[in-house]
Amino acid sequence: MTGTVERDADRALKAKHRALWAAGNYPAVAADLIPTFGPTLVAATGVTAGRRVLDVGAGSGNAAIPAAERGAIVTAADLTPELFVAGRTAAAERGVDLEWVEADAEALPFPDGSFDVVLSSVGAMFAPHHQAVADELLRVCRPGGTIAMINWTPEGFIGQLFRLMAPYAPPPPPGASPPPLWGDEQHVRELFGDRITDLSMDRRIVVMDHSADPTEFREYWKHNYGPTIAVYRFNAVDPDRTADLDRKFLQFLTDWNRAGQPGRTAYDAEYLLLTARKR
């Protein structure tokens, strides 16, 4: 009976995650704010024609499509297949073909050692159980193959945004770890252990300068980014809490804005680029 309850709870949790990322317009967020992530990650792996590549938490193909443009045999996997609509359109416009598979990063539906390169651009980091994700990334990668990820850091702009929203968010599921922990070097080492070699971790910055002022940027997050939408929905029945979140969110964006002139914003968002080889 305990096993049945746990499986039902896991299915319910994954359904919530799927709905979260289907809300808003994540393909627009990826295109507007982090268009360089996919090409950066693919370049770091040295993907070449004929390589078998898996993009975990692929979304609309921010990394999968650039890999396919290099001639790789690419599978884009995500828990939220609603995001594939925009991905298929973008792939067709860029003249590439790849496979799109609905898949849970904690239980990937692929045989052991299926891929030469397993990568994820701020995708797999959002699955709640980090060790299960790390185990799966390694399992589906062939011995000697490459694992590569871009993850937000805890100390950076996105990590601190999640910290701001945490008191207003629903309680996390049992055993869940905060997504930005994937951007902590020690955490990554503990997850992969001695199963990898040639581990490289490099902290970098992407500049988000999409909006004219902090208020406009706050509204952009509220209307387009699934996790932010979910937090506001959770507090919708309490106008005072919503107003308090609005104030703190705006102050956060005002404090982090480094643009030096009116009518512009610029946010330095730190991320961790990691690559490794499976033993």
Query: Which tokens sit at 154?
Result: 């805890």
Checking if the pLDDT of 11 tops 90, the result is: no
Mean predicted confidence (pLDDT) in 219-240: 97
The per-residue pLDDT for 1 is 53
User: Sign of the C-alpha dihedral, residues 151, 275, 131, 9?
Assistant: positive
The per-residue pLDDT for 9 is 75
Q: Residue with structure tokens 């360089």?
A: 36
Model pLDDT for residues 77-130, shown as the tens digit of each residue: 999 999 999 999 999 999 999 999 999 999 999 999 999 999 999 999 999 999
* Contacting residues for 37 by C-beta, under 8 A, at least 6 apart: 30, 62, 63, 121, 122, 150, 206, 271
Distance between CA atoms of residues 192 and 130, nearest Å: 10
Query: How far, rounded to the nearest angstrom, does the alpha carbon of residue 179 sit from its chain's CA centroid?
Result: 9
The per-residue pLDDT for 13 is 85
Mean predicted confidence (pLDDT) in 35-43: 98
Query: Which tokens sit at 207?
Result: 């500049």
The per-residue pLDDT for 260 is 83
| Segments making up each domain of the chain, as ranges | 2-154+171-207+270-278
Mean predicted confidence (pLDDT) in 175-186: 96
The per-residue pLDDT for 2 is 52
Mean predicted confidence (pLDDT) in 224-229: 97
214 versus 7: the higher-pLDDT residue is: 214
The per-residue pLDDT for 64 is 98
What fold is seen in the domain 2-154+171-207+270-278?
Answer: Rossmann fold (3.40.50)
Pairing of strands 141-152, 267-278: antiparallel
